[in-house]
């Protein structure tokens, strides 16, 4: 057992961290396709059938031992879909492959492979049973040397004494076995990629130490992916996982070549939307927001085609993909578009997060980071200073459309109280964050008009009181959002709100329910918010969708004389302080950025270039 898992279990035992290490929890009622070994007559069917149609995905080929060309075709399809993390569609494909060759041993290996825990998806009890039964039946089979070794490695992963609690031990044993196979078959790109994946799955989303260096197991994973790409430069799984391994590093732009290669070789076919979106991870980290937006918009469009053709909803056999990856792309696009300054796109995507992704329902079912996305629609309004739109949002049970709000077509007095599925009661975090957003909006309006200043500040104070009451609730604060708690995010909200309030409504500093220390300078609150945000662990997109440094910088620039320091606008690990010593170069880059779209609401600085 690694040191990481030892401490993880110790902390879990005392209630400090949850045992699950995946970003997203898996609900017990997760839609799941049941499998049978009963051989039926092969028929070409559409996606509405229980089996996958031929999707003509790619030229990706993994030659296996089989007597059927059709089985080979569906094996290729299943592995391509698995590389795009569309595991449920891959399972349907391999079920179809078994209809043409019921004795195909590697088909059952691929079935177990797709049922295995993933860096984004833990193993459910039902899937564990299916995987164990699948591997138990493989007692006598025909296969090559590498196939035989792969099957025995998978048998160890899904041994009969594996449970959902002790699974990490078997995943480590599987990774060790895959390492032996990779060392023996160093010219097999698939084996190398599967070995790297097995290593990553022993420590989901914890790949670096505190000094930013790859952990020993992850260094082996990096070697495996690099070796696979040397053999097969367009290998979809190696490209995909290489991005995940590089993006949290201190040098994410080292992954630009991989991202560009994946962008060029991505199979823009039905069911591959997640792979199309993947380069956006690196583009976002490197400040190439326009490219990140395009990657996510393309992925969303491809997902829509897939959902329409295959009749997929959040309650269908592939509902998990719909809930997880479709929502993920929307959140990504909201953030990247906002960093571009594209108000219309960012706001429209935030509307889709509610109306198309049903984020309120998804947040309750998947938990994890999706709980934070509930507040992103109104945080998007904050990002673009659309205060009036925020103030028109009703508390839970509102049916207000974000797009209509932005156009000012609705007033609170005329709202209908009819609840639809996506507008059922907000999770508690969302309600608290709505009070934060409205308090921030009121405090911002107070600086823009002298008319009714006192009344507006009073409304800001009331919103803060409501926010503060919910933000201090231990049931909310203690809830885990993967590597952080909601309390940490609510602290960022608190300091951000108090900074704006102290700057624009200083006469309310004596209000005890605002904050006993509101007599502090606004700068103090902004710096506390920055300090807290800077210590958030890596997440894509970020846990908090607004860079608080911009608020601090704006406040300091407004002072007489300006108090801005060269590191005030430093974003993450990228320092743009060189702008101040290289003004001409900075101006050149900024003007180049404006050429991306002259119609942008505002234009972002490309930090990596500067």
Rounded Cα distance, 553 and 549, in Å: 6
In a shared domain, residues 372 and 285: no
Q: Rg for the chain (alpha carbons), in Å? A: 26
pLDDT average, residue stretch 496-515:
76
Residue 169 within a domain: yes
Residue 100 sits in a domain of what CATH number? Answer: 1.25.40.10
Is the pLDDT score of 605 beyond 90? no
In a shared domain, residues 27 and 163: yes
The more confidently predicted of residues 12 and 243 is 243
At 239, the pLDDT band (50, 70, 90 cuts) reads very high
Instruction: Return the number of other C-beta atoms located less than 10 Å from residue 180's C-beta.
Output: 12
In a shared domain, residues 454 and 597: no
In sequence order, the β-bridge partners of residue 587 are none
Is the pLDDT score of 16 beyond 80? no
Residue 348 within a domain: no
Contact 309, 287 (CB under 8 A): no
pLDDT average, residue stretch 433-452:
91
The more confidently predicted of residues 524 and 151 is 151
Rounded Cα distance, 455 and 507, in Å: 12
Tokens representing 49 are 């059938």
What local confidence, expressed as pLDDT, does residue 558 receive? 81
What local confidence, expressed as pLDDT, does residue 583 receive? 57
What local confidence, expressed as pLDDT, does residue 270 receive? 81
Is the pLDDT score of 316 beyond 80? no
For 56-113, how does the pLDDT look when each residue is reduced to its tens digit (9 = 90+)?
666 689 999 999 999 999 999 999 999 999 999 999 999 999 999 999 999 999 999 9
* Lowest-confidence region among 50-54, 193-197, 273-277, 543-547: 50-54
Boundary of a domain, candidates 278, 308, 340: 340
Residue 132 within a domain: yes
In a shared domain, residues 444 and 331: no
Contact 342, 597 (CB under 8 A): yes
Is the pLDDT score of 193 beyond 50? yes
Residue 589 within a domain: yes
In a shared domain, residues 59 and 207: yes
At 38, the pLDDT band (50, 70, 90 cuts) reads very low
In a shared domain, residues 128 and 43: yes
In sequence order, the β-bridge partners of residue 484 are 481
pLDDT average, residue stretch 484-511:
88
Is the pLDDT score of 457 beyond 70? yes
Query: How much of the chain is helix, strand and coil, in % rounded to 5?
Result: 60, 0, 40
Q: What are phi and psi of 232, to 5 degrees?
A: -140, 85
In a shared domain, residues 560 and 580: no
pLDDT average, residue stretch 393-400:
57
The single residue listed with the structure tokens 């797009």 is 403
Is the pLDDT score of 556 beyond 90? no
Q: Is 144 strand, coil or helix?
A: coil
For 247-297, how does the pLDDT look when each residue is reduced to its tens digit (9 = 90+)?
999 999 999 999 999 988 766 678 899 999 999 999 999 999 999 999 999
Q: Is 208 strand, coil or helix?
A: strand
pTM for the full predicted model: 0.82
Rounded Cα distance, 543 and 325, in Å: 16
The more confidently predicted of residues 333 and 268 is 333
What local confidence, expressed as pLDDT, does residue 87 receive? 95
Residue 354 within a domain: no
At 152, the pLDDT band (50, 70, 90 cuts) reads very high
Is the peptide bond preceding residue 541 cis, with omega within 30 degrees of 0? yes
In a shared domain, residues 310 and 368: no
Residue 75 within a domain: yes
In a shared domain, residues 325 and 474: no
pLDDT average, residue stretch 146-157:
98
In a shared domain, residues 148 and 214: yes
Share of the chain above pLDDT 90, in %: 59
What local confidence, expressed as pLDDT, does residue 43 receive? 33
In a shared domain, residues 31 and 51: yes
Boundary of a domain, candidates 527, 543, 564: 564
Residue 501 within a domain: yes
**Mean pLDDT, the chain, as a whole number?**
81
The single residue listed with the structure tokens 């406040």 is 555
Is the pLDDT score of 600 beyond 60? no
Boundary of a domain, candidates 284, 307, 340: 340
Q: Which domain holds residue 450?
A: 360-564
Half-sphere exposure of 252 (CA within 13 A, CB side): 22
Residue 205 within a domain: yes
At 519, the pLDDT band (50, 70, 90 cuts) reads low
Which regions of 428-551 does DSSP assign to beta strands (E)? 480-481, 484-485
* Lowest-confidence region among 121-135, 343-357, 408-422, 558-572: 408-422
What local confidence, expressed as pLDDT, does residue 560 receive? 73
At 370, the pLDDT band (50, 70, 90 cuts) reads very high
User: Which of 7-11, 224-228, 466-470 is modeled with the greatest confidence?
Assistant: 224-228
**How far from each other are the two terminal CA atoms of the chain, in whole angstroms?**
44
In a shared domain, residues 322 and 393: no
- Total count of domains within the chain: 3
Is the pLDDT score of 195 beyond 90? yes
């Amino acid at each position: 057992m690694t040191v990481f898992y030892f401490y993880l279990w110790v902390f879990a035992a005392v209630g400090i961290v949850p045992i699950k290490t995946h970003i997203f929890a898996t609900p017990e009622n997760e839609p799941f396709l049941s499998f049978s070994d009963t051989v039926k007559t092969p028929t070409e069917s559409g996606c509405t059938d229980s089996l996958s149609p031929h999707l003509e995905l790619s030229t990706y080929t993994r030659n296996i031992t089989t007597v059927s060309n059709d089985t080979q075709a569906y094996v290729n399809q299943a592995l391509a879909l698995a590389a795009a993390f569309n595991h449920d569609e891959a399972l349907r494909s391999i079920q179809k492959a078994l209809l043409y060759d019921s004795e195909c041993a590697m088909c059952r290996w691929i079935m177990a492979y797709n049922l295995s825990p993933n860096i984004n998806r833990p193993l459910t009890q039902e899937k564990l049973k299916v995987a164990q039964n699948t591997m138990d039946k493989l007692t006598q089979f025909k296969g090559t040397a590498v196939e035989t070794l792969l099957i025995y490695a998978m048998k160890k992963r899904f041994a009969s004494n594996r449970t959902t609690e002790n699974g990490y031990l078997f995943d480590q044993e599987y990774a060790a076995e895959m390492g032996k196979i990779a060392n023996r078959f160093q010219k097999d790109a698939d084996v190398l990629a599967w070995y790297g994946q097995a290593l990553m799955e022993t420590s989901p989303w914890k790949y670096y130490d505190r000094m930013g260096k790859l952990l020993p197991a992850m260094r082996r994973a990096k070697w495996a992916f690099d070796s696979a790409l040397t053999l097969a430069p367009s290998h979809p799984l190696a490209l995909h996982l290489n991005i995940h391994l590089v993006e949290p590093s201190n040098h994410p732009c080292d992954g630009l070549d991989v991202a560009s290669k994946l962008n060029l070789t991505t199979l823009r076919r039905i069911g591959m939307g997640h792979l199309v979106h993947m380069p956006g991870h690196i583009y976002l980290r490197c400040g190439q927001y326009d490219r990140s937006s395009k990657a996510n918009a393309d992925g969303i469009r491809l997902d829509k085609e897939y959902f329409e053709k295959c009749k997929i909803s959040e309650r269908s056999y592939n509902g998990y993909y719909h809930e997880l990856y479709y929502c993920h792309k929307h959140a990504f696009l909201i953030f990247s578009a906002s960093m571009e300054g594209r108000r219309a796109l960012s706001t429209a995507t935030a509307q889709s997060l509610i109306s198309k992704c049903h984020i309120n329902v998804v947040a309750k079912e998947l938990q994890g980071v999706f709980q934070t996305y509930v507040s992103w629609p109104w945080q998007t309004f904050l990002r673009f200073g659309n205060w009036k739109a925020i103030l028109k949002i009703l508390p839970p049970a509102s049916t207000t459309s974000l797009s209509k709000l932005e156009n000012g077509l609705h007033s609170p007095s005329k709202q209908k109280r009819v609840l639809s599925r996506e507008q059922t009661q907000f999770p508690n975090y969302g309600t608290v964050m709505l009070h934060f957003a409205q308090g921030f909006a009121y405090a911002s309006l107070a600086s823009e008009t002298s008319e009714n200043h006192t009344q507006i500040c009073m409304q800001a104070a009331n919103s803060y009181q409501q926010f503060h009451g919910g933000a201090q609730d231990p049931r909310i604060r203690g809830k885990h959002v993967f590597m952080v708690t909601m309390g940490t995010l609510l602290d960022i909200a608190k300091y951000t709100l108090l900074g704006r309030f102290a700057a624009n409504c200083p006469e309310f500093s004596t209000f005890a329910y605002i904050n006993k220390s509101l007599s502090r300078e606004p700068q103090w609150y902004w710096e506390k918010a920055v300090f807290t945000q800077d210590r958030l662990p890596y997440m894509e997109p970020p846990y908090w969708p607004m860079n608080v440094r911009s608020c601090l910088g704006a406040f300091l620039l407004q002072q007489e004389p300006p108090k801005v320091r060269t590191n005030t606008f430093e974003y993450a690990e990228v320092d743009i302080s060189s702008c101040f010593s290289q003004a001409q170069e900075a101006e050149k880059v900024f003007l180049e950025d404006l050429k991306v779209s002259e119609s942008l609401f505002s234009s972002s600085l490309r930090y990596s270039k500067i």
